[in-house]
A = this chain, B = another copy of it.
Amino acid sequence: MQAISRAAALRNARTVLSHCVKQNRFDTLILDKLSVDEIERPGVVKCTMAVERNHLNLTGTLHGGVSATLVDIVGSLAIAAAGLESTGVSTDIQVSYLAAPKLGEQLVIRGFADKVGKTLAFTRVEIATLRDGHDQETLAVRGSHTKFVRGIQRMANEK
């Protein structure tokens, strides 16, 4: 995870996300406003997204399926940020729901590439809400996402 620069990691994560959002329907419907903002440290990608109407459940809060989708996608972006050219296939996802973000709230979503091995990658995702005009984050959802990554090429380190 130290092989590539943060700038390269950020570019790679953004490329993977743009492929998702361009080439298929589900990610486009849900994640077209997801922004990959920063590589906070090696293997940790920070994203942001506002809760929109498309993301709501029956009770007007963030749909559990959208949270799970964010655990899926942002875990994958952490793998991309670790330098893999694609992000593999999910084997297991787990999500815990601590609080329910509301329409309009700003989400900070962090993906952590805890381990990127030859066969499996273990990622973790935290979704927090941000108070208006404040920096304080409140954890709302967290998850674990294990992926099968065998045979995927790692980016060469840049000169």
Q: Which residues of A contact B (CB under 8 A)?
A: 19-20, 23-27, 29-30, 53-60, 63-66, 68-69, 71-73, 89-100, 114-115, 119-120, 122, 124, 139, 142, 144, 146, 148, 150
Contacts and interface: CB of A to CB of B under 8 A. Distances in A.
Given A26-B55, A72-B65, A94 B144 contact: yes
14 contacts: A19-B58, A20-B57, A24-B57, A25-B55, A29-B54, A64-B68, A68-B71, A68-B72, A91-B120, A96-B114, A96-B122, A98-B122, A99-B115, A119-B148
A84 to B, nearest CB: 14
7 closest A-B pairs by beta carbon, nearest first, are A65-B69, A68-B68, A92-B92, A64-B72, A94-B94, A26-B63, A98-B115
A3 to B, nearest CB: 17
Contact of A91 (B26, B29, B59, B91): B91
A89 B90 CA distance: 18
